[in-house]
Every structure is written in C-alpha cells, then in structure tokens.
Chains A and B, each alone.
Chain A
C-alpha cells in the first residue's frame, strides 16, 4: 500500500501577476521598444504629411529613411519581445521546457541521443590509432593569448612611436632626456617580453613533435577497463612529464549584468609520471607508455546543459629547460549502466 505524502512545502508557485514581477524587466524593455518605435514612426509620418507639396532636400530624405528604419526595428523588436512574454505567460517551467526546441527539453521519445545530456562527440573517434583504436585530438588553444600578445604589440608600437616623435619634436632638453629614458625602458621591457614569448613558441614547435595519445575505446564507460597509449617524440631534456585524467565541473551564472563561469576540479588522477627526470628525449628514445586502468562504476558521466557541465579530459604536462607544454585531450565518459 503506498504511503501518501501530503503537501506541506509549496514551491515553484507563481501567480497571474508573475508576468509583471518575474519578467518585469523584459516586459518593460518590450513595452519601451514598442512605444519608442511607434513614436518615431508616428513623428516621421506626421513630418512627411505636413511637408507634402513643399519638397524635400536630400538631408531630409535621409533623416526620414533613418527614422523609418530605427522606428521599424524598435517596433518589431518590441512586438517580438512582448509576444515572447505573452507566450510564456501562465505556463509552468516544465511545460515550457517540454515544448522547448532545445534538445534538452525534449521528452526521451523524441530525443535522438542515446544518452540525454551526454555530449555526442563523434568527432573524437574519426582518427584511427596505430597502437590502440582511436587517436584523440588535442583541444585547440584559445585564440585569446594570441590576441593579448597582438594587442600588447600594437600598444607597444604606438607608445614607442609617440615617445619617439616627442623626442624628435622637443629637441635636446630635460624633457627629451626623460622621454628617451622612458622610451628605452619601455622598448627593453617590450622586446624582452615579446622575444621570450616568440622563443618559447618556436622552441615548443621545433623541439617537440605533435603528441600521440591513443585510447582503446571511446567513450570511456564507467566500471570498465580502459587503456591509454602516449607517445611523444622530441629533442630535449624533460624535467617533468605527467599524464592525468581530470574531471571538472563548470557552472555559468549571471551576477547582475555579468555572465560568469566557475570551474572546479573534482577528480585529478595521475596516470603516468616520468620519474627518471631529467629524461633525455630524442629520436631513439621517445617518451612512450601504455597505461591500463580500471574505473569505478561510480564515476560521473560527461554532462552538458546550457549552464552546467561535467567535463573529462586527459591532461599532459611536459616541462623542459626552455619548453613548457600543457595539453588537454577531451573525452566523453558514459555511465556504468550503459
């Protein structure tokens, strides 16, 4: 006989006025856009009607066209925003999620993925391995470091040019001497930073060949054994070589008008470490290892939702006198119940 649970907690409730409270900002924006768009269009039309027969200059025509465009865009956006509010009015979050066009909101029967919320990374298995089944691709480096360096270089060139021009214009006095010292210090700092970055990048690309990381199967299924093969060719002495299996949780949240992301490492398993450091790496002595692991069936599977993720990857860290390389090889973990 089932035991009845009576309602004592009341959560997730909303009133017909939730439209005004929960989404008040959206509603205000929508209404303001409708008002602004209507106002601009009305003013433009009224101006056009009053001026009929008088004739228009090109400037006036341009102003009317721009006004029409701005008014039309505002009105359309306002109507769309208001329509969105009207559509969600009085509907529960479950009903909205269920009818959402997002895959996550679809019921299981309509969801094409065999594992809802587990990312479908078939792109990770399109490269066959030599020793094991698949060669994993490395996660591409973000473009931001390159952009930072490029913007730094542009700013540096601009400042150097301005200082140089100031020296040439002022001539030989104390101001020029001061500008010359600043110019020298700034140029020296800039040159040191950019040359070291360049040397590091060139060393990394010339002293180390692309890493080969192969896996026996993909995705990794919790509770089942797994094998990983690592091969790194290069021409340098390694001070540190470590391969880790890492799991992170990622959370995206809104704080005021900012969208922030927090990442926490929840698992960090050492799979392989080269203990005989410094390890001489050359053509005849590549860094090679084949690691067999057993995973518990209580391993969390990969998870991907719009604001939250559980991400697994293999991290390889190599460090030498002139080179430091940290690479991530993403992978997907399926639950043991598969």
Chain B
C-alpha cells in the first residue's frame, strides 16, 4: 500500500496577494515509522500550455529522519512562507502560470509519490475577460 499524504493550506483563501503569508501543514499515513527516506515540501509555480514546462521554486524544504527528534517523518509538520510579488497566476491563450503547494514523499522502498494543492496568487488574470483593460483618456495632437 502506498503512503497517504494529507496536505492542507491552513489559511485557505480564494486568492493570495503578494506579501500574504501562506501557512501549510502535512501529515503522512499508511506507512511505517522508519519506512520514509525523505519528505520534500515546496511552494512553486509552473507553466502549462503550448510551450515546454517551466518551473520556479519559491519555497523548498527537505526533511530526513535526522531532522526529527524521534526520526518519525509521518508526524504533523507545518511550514509557512510569504507569497512573492510575481509571477501572478495567469490563464492566457497558450500559456498558463499556476501556483501550488507540493509535498513529495520518498519511501525507502517503492516509488516516490507527491500531492499538490493549487492556489491562486493574485486575483487571476485572463486576457479573454470582457473587462476593458486599457482606456485612452485623452489624446492631444
């Protein structure tokens, strides 16, 4: 049986503004105490769309059994980070910028598994929206 990752954003909101604190916690179940080699948690953006994927890591933490007092990586662990100013979440025509919190577990035996929770940085920008984005207010010749 594969390990289960329980990941949540503690201060869940519709969207986060740059400078907001993002608080997350995770816990791992269905795996033995000493069966985990490492756990990585990260806050990152990645692109989707026509182009090859780009990825940018804003926050990264790797924990191994020696980082825990009792060597048990399954226990509830919290981390937080301040949201960066850019890149804002974006849904363009051939490019999408998406943010997520990711936890990846490396068991000592078997394949690694990960779990993502997406979130939005900024209100979310869509170029196809009907809102008038630019208005010429005055022209002097």
Contact = CB atoms under 8 A, between A and B. Distances in A.
B133 A107 contact: no
28 contacts: A4-B8, A5-B117, A7-B4, A12-B104, A13-B113, A92-B40, A92-B104, A94-B42, A95-B60, A114-B85, A116-B86, A117-B56, A251-B94, A252-B52, A253-B51, A254-B52, A266-B93, A272-B136, A294-B134, A296-B133, A298-B129, A300-B125, A303-B97, A310-B92, A335-B86, A337-B17, A337-B88, A338-B85
A300 to B, nearest CB: 5
B58 interface: yes
B2 interface: yes
A252 to B, nearest CB: 5
B119 to A, nearest CB: 12
Nearest to A294: B135
Given A14-B112, A105-B57, 19 more contacts: A2-B8, A5-B117, A105-B55, A108-B58, A115-B85, A116-B87, A245-B134, A253-B50, A269-B133, A291-B138, A291-B139, A294-B137, A298-B133, A299-B134, A300-B92, A303-B95, A305-B47, A308-B47, A335-B85
A173 interface: no
A2 B78 CA distance: 12
Given A5-B7, A98-B60, A267-B133, A289 B111 contact: no
Given A252-B52, A271-B136, A300 B60 contact: no
A12 B135 CA distance: 43
Contacts, number: 208
Of all A-B residue pairs in the complex, the 4 with the closest CB atoms, nearest first, are: A251-B51, A305-B54, A266-B127, A251-B50
Contacts of A13: 111-114
Interface of A: 2-7, 9-16, 92-95, 97-98, 104-105, 107-108, 114-118, 225, 245, 247, 249-254, 262, 264, 266-267, 269-272, 288-296, 298-301, 303, 305-308, 310, 335, 337-338
A116 B84 contact: yes
A3 B131 CA distance: 34
Interface of B: 2, 4-10, 12, 17-19, 25, 40, 42, 44, 47, 49-60, 62, 82, 84-88, 90, 92-95, 97, 102, 104, 111-117, 122-123, 125, 127, 129, 131-141
Interface core residue of B51, B113, B129 (most chain A CB under 10 Å): B51
B93 A298 contact: no
A247 B127 contact: yes
Contacts of A288: 141
Contacts of B87: 116-118, 301, 303
B62 A95 contact: yes
B138 A118 contact: no
B21 to A, nearest CB: 13
Q: Which of A249, A271, A288, A300 has the most CB of B within 10 A?
A: A300
B47 A98 contact: no
Nearest to B10: A2
A3 B12 CA distance: 10
A249 B94 contact: yes
